[in-house]
Amino acid sequence: MSECEVQRLLDAIAGCRICRDAPLRGEAHRLPHEPRPVAVLSAKAKILIAGQAPGLRVHETGITFNDASGNRLRDWLGVTREEFYDTDRFSIVPMGFCFPGYDVNGGDLPPRKECAPHWRSAVMAVMPQIELILAVGHHAQSWHLGAHVRENMTETVRHWRDYLEPDSGITILPLPHPSWRNTGWIKRNPWFEKELLPVLKELVRRKIG
């Protein structure tokens, strides 16, 4: 696809207000603040980072993964901040484009249900050059792995080798979310850092040059 087509889709996403104006679950579930869709599409990048939804800091700055989670993710990938935000190298498109707000315990709510059904197919269609999808978190894994997703995020990530030779030609590598909330998970699953991360770094470096 051309850069013009990518830009047209980005402009349309930037103007999206579905979660505010036409919430799927009715007026009571309207997004409680002004939407600020955050996504990075590319006509050249071979890697798509499929995240969950922006956090508050990303909402405030408009820069995806512009927080501690982003620092950890860049460390996992073995890339610099400059490489990470190079649109010739990475496309970064969360399942939900806007900060969804907080739950009663102060954690981020799940991605809005309006985004993926409305936008995901168009996003993938405009980036046919994608060769590697990094599916960060359960929501991205469920969408991109479909029937191949396991019973929970841990088991999906644990079986990461099963997704390296896909029928579609696009490699999908499932990852936990790099949030500090998953620090305990990382400690309980040492295979993640020992076995998966070296392969992840190699795949990324091969794709970005």
Domain boundaries, the chain: 3-208
Residues 113 and 24: beta-carbon distance below 8 Å = yes
Residue 1 has a pLDDT of 61
pTM for this model (two decimals): 0.94
State the chain's maximal CA–CA distance in angstroms: 48
CATH number, domain 3-208:
3.40.470.10
Residue 167 has a pLDDT of 67
Q: How far apart are CA 204 and CA 188, in angstroms?
A: 25
Which parts of the chain register pLDDT below 50?
Answer: none
Nearest to 74 by CA among 144, 175, 195: 175
